[in-house]
Amino acid sequence: MTSEVVSSETASPVKADTPRTFNSDRWLGLAFVAPIVVVMGFLVFGPVLVTLWDSLHRVDPMRLGTPFIGLENYRNLMRDASVLHAWFNTMAYVIFAVVLETAGGLAAALLLNKITWGRRWLLAAVVLPWALPPVVNAIVWMWIYNPSYGLLNGILQSTGLISSYHVWFNDRTTALLLVALVHVWRMLPLTAVILLAALQSIPAELYQAARLDGAGPFRSFSKVTLPLISGGLAIALSQSTVFAFNLFDEAWILNGSSLDTRPVLVQVYMSAFQNLRFSYGMALSVLVMFASLLISLVYVLRVYRETRYD
């Protein structure tokens, strides 16, 4: 690249805010980010624009031509029963996942913050599920949920909680919960780690001060801990929401294309790659993208604020 040009110092103070600004900085900077721009442009932003454009057309490998049809795809999506079903399922996943991950992640983070010996190993054990391929997780849990020989039935029956073996995926609510549970198993570590980082940044003096003021453990939790981890909590919440929104692998492996548990992304896959209605699937994926962007606005705004001033 242009490294040789750069190392010959052409120190002309273009901007006065940093003591040493090289005139060739702009070219070196552009050269450094050029590969990123190319990769992201070709493989992400270009395709996103194509998707936006095509979603307004009828793109269908089975039919001739790609006429402009305006918002017809979107209008049809609003009336499509299986699409609405899929949105409902995704909403259920988001609610289950966010509630369970936040509650479980907070509990795990508080425990990890408090424990003194073996913390390193407990943390490793907690993080492990996040590191495993979702497909393998789903297979392991599918076997646990097995109606005839599964661990879940075995444990529940031997403890007397159920009298006979259940076919868990026969009931829609249970099926949604069980799929969400596999997702929670994998994503809870992320919430726990984010909240642990937030907890560790709270100065110990604050707790001493709270105790001196006569605050019990619950009061100091609600008046000291919660406000001070609210930033981390916001990030953890937006992350769990976005990831639950993008749930695909677990539902696909555990229950295939079944309408009972089909999330929006499986619906996109079915429309586009199974039924070969490309632009219809694209329109749905555009809606998912906007919903996903809207939720992670917390995140994006934060990045934006940070980059604006420097």
| Cβ atoms within 10 Å, residue 233 | 19
Residue 73's identity, in one-letter code, is N
Closest CB to other proteins among 224 and 238? 238
The single residue among 124, 162, 209, 226 that binds other proteins, judged by CB under 8 A, is: 124
The single residue among 40, 84, 99, 209 that binds other proteins, judged by CB under 8 A, is: 40
C-beta separation of 184 from 256 below 8 A: no
Chain positions 151 to 180 lying near other proteins, rule: CB under 8 A, are 151, 154-155, 157-158
43 interacts with other proteins by CB under 8 A = yes
For residue 110, what are its two tokens? Answer: 């508080």
Chain positions 203 to 222 lying near other proteins, rule: CB under 8 A, are none
- Minimum CB separation from other proteins for residue 254, in Å? 10
Question: How many residues make contact with other proteins (CB under 8 A)?
Answer: 113
Closest CB to other proteins among 151 and 209? 151
- Minimum CB separation from other proteins for residue 217, in Å? 10
The single residue among 78, 136, 167, 226 that binds other proteins, judged by CB under 8 A, is: 136
80 interacts with other proteins by CB under 8 A = no
d(CA 162, CA 174): 15
| Residue 229 CB-half CA count within 13 A | 28
Which region among 70-78, 79-87, 168-176, 301-309 touches other proteins (by CB under 8 A)?
A: 301-309
The single residue among 45, 66, 67, 230 that binds other proteins, judged by CB under 8 A, is: 45
- For residue 67, which phi and psi values (nearest 5 degrees)? -70, 150
d(CA 211, CA 50): 59
x/- letters, 249..288, toward other proteins (CB under 8 A): x--xx-----------x--xx--xx----x--xx--xx-x
Instruction: Show the CA angle centred on residue 230, arms to residues 228 and 234, nearest 5°.
Output: 155
- Minimum CB separation from other proteins for residue 226, in Å? 18
36 interacts with other proteins by CB under 8 A = yes
Closest CB to other proteins among 1 and 209? 1
C-beta separation of 59 from 53 below 8 A: no
- For residue 21, which phi and psi values (nearest 5 degrees)? -120, 125
78 interacts with other proteins by CB under 8 A = no
Closest CA to 195 of 94, 100, 102: 102
d(CA 220, CA 218): 6
Closest CB to other proteins among 115 and 226? 115
d(CA 301, CA 111): 31
Closest CB to other proteins among 9 and 171? 9
Grouping H, G, I as helix, E, B as strand and the rest as coil, residue 57 is strand
The single residue among 99, 132, 209, 226 that binds other proteins, judged by CB under 8 A, is: 132
- For residue 68, which phi and psi values (nearest 5 degrees)? -75, 125
